[in-house]
């Protein structure tokens, strides 16, 4: 069976590399590896989500399926006094994210967990959950995480996702409307949609 980046323990041989990116006007350096999502550099969808999402200072934020930590670390460094949890089922990805938080001087306001969905972080409530869904995991898995995200949000909280139009953006929006009172397509660029569902 083909192994994907959402495997808990990638068996593919490690090939650590370093990539650089400018996000929210600041320079970042990330270590990546084989067996993690977007190992060659920051993907367009994650970059668009980072640049679009609205996060208030002091918020509690979850980077769900964090990979090597791009979204959560950028938010942790750019937004004053936020507390960011980064969680991923992929143990290799979480270790990379831990190192990347340190290298980018974001470790003071980040916490990292190996977690299959919300299994290891059910004790938290978040103002915002940021999610670049693993499309290859399948619609059933992604939609389950949409539903679970609703239960992990504080009152008035929001789930932000990035998804390509050709990979089911319209149907994802309809699914979010089953769980959230207010669902908006906040941005569309190069075939990617940023959708925000707010718990009202």
| Reported pTM | 0.92
Q: What is the pLDDT of residues 121-150, one digit of tens each?
A: 999 999 999 999 988 788 899 999 999 999
How far apart are the C-alpha atoms of 19 and 193, rounded to whole Å?
Answer: 25
CA gyration radius, the chain: 15
Q: What is the pLDDT of residues 59-72, one digit of tens each?
A: 999 999 999 999 99
Query: For the chain, which domains are there?
Result: 17-198 (3.40.50.150)
Angle between helices 91-103 and 70-78 (to 10 degrees): 30
């Amino acid at each position: 069976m083909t192994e994907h980046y959402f495997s808990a323990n990638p068996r593919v041989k490690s090939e650590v590399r370093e990539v650089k990116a400018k996000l929210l006007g600041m320079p970042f350096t990330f270590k990546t590896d084989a067996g993690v999502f977007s190992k060659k550099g920051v993907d367009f969808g994650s970059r668009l989500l980072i640049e679009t999402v609205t996060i208030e200072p002091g918020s509690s934020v979850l980077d769900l399926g964090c990979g090597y930590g791009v979204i959560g670390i950028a938010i942790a460094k750019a937004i004053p006094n936020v507390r960011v949890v980064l969680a991923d089922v992929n143990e290799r990805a979480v270790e990379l994210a831990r190192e990347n938080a340190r290298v980018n001087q974001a470790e003071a306001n980040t916490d990292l967990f190996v977690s299959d969905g919300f299994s290891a972080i059910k004790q938290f409530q978040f103002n915002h959950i940021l999610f670049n869904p693993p499309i290859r995991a399948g619609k059933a898995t992604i939609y389950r995480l949409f539903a679970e995200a609703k239960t992990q949000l504080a009152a008035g909280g929001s789930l932000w996702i990035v998804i390509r139009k050709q990979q089911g953006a319209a149907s994802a929006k309809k699914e979010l409307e089953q769980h959230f009172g207010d669902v908006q397509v906040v941005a569309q660029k190069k075939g990617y949609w940023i959708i925000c569902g707010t718990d009202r």
